[in-house]
Amino acid sequence: MEKYQLTKEGVAKLEAEYRHLLDVVRPQNTKDIVDARALGDLSENADYDAARDAQARTEGRIQEIENILNNYELIKESSSTKTVKIGCAVVVKDLAFDEEERYEIVGAIEADPMQNKLSSESPLADAVLGHKVGDVVEVNAPTPYKVEIVAIERP
């Protein structure tokens, strides 16, 4: 079985989402289905169909979270900032554009490019993992490019 790599923060977010789905969303789904059934004929009842669809999405997400929480590996926080590792933050300089950007390297489940959280499986993260400050690495993307590792930090 595949192990999902998660930070402490990622585990906490998933646990909170799980509790919300169980304690708030699931009971609301049940209420919506009961209310829609009370409207009569189920064969042409759009409210009932919508409530059942919402219930299916909720139950699917609950099962997905349960699977992740039963099969995760905690990313160990390291005090060492000598090399880029999953769970650390890295500042890279795009050599073509002379621009710096800071990214946190996380497991695929927690990836959120809008928050600068890169999956460890992404081309950029894959290129910098295991390297040190000052290293210049080539990112194997559809259009390859080079970056220099400027800093390695704790997130």
Summarised one tens digit per residue, pLDDT across range 54-103 is 999 999 999 999 999 999 999 887 667 789 999 899 999 999 999 999 99
The pLDDT of residue 114 is above 90: yes
**Quick one: 112 and 142 in the same domain?**
yes
Model pLDDT, residue 112:
94
Per the domain annotation, does 9 fall within a domain?
A: yes
Per the domain annotation, does 36 fall within a domain?
A: yes
Per the domain annotation, does 137 fall within a domain?
A: yes
Per the domain annotation, does 16 fall within a domain?
A: yes
Per the domain annotation, does 61 fall within a domain?
A: yes
**Quick one: 29 and 64 in the same domain?**
yes
Q: Which two tokens stand for residue 155?
A: 């997130």
For residues 97-115, give the mean pLDDT: 94
Q: For residue 125, give the nearest of 99, 147, 154 by alpha carbon.
A: 147
Per the domain annotation, does 106 fall within a domain?
A: yes
Identify the CATH number of the domain in which residue 15 sits.
1.10.287.180
Per the domain annotation, does 82 fall within a domain?
A: no
- State the number of CA atoms in the 13 A half-sphere of 149 facing the CB: 27
**Quick one: 20 and 59 in the same domain?**
yes
Residue 66: what residue type? E
Alpha helices in the chain (DSSP H): 8-20, 26-37, 46-70, 123-128
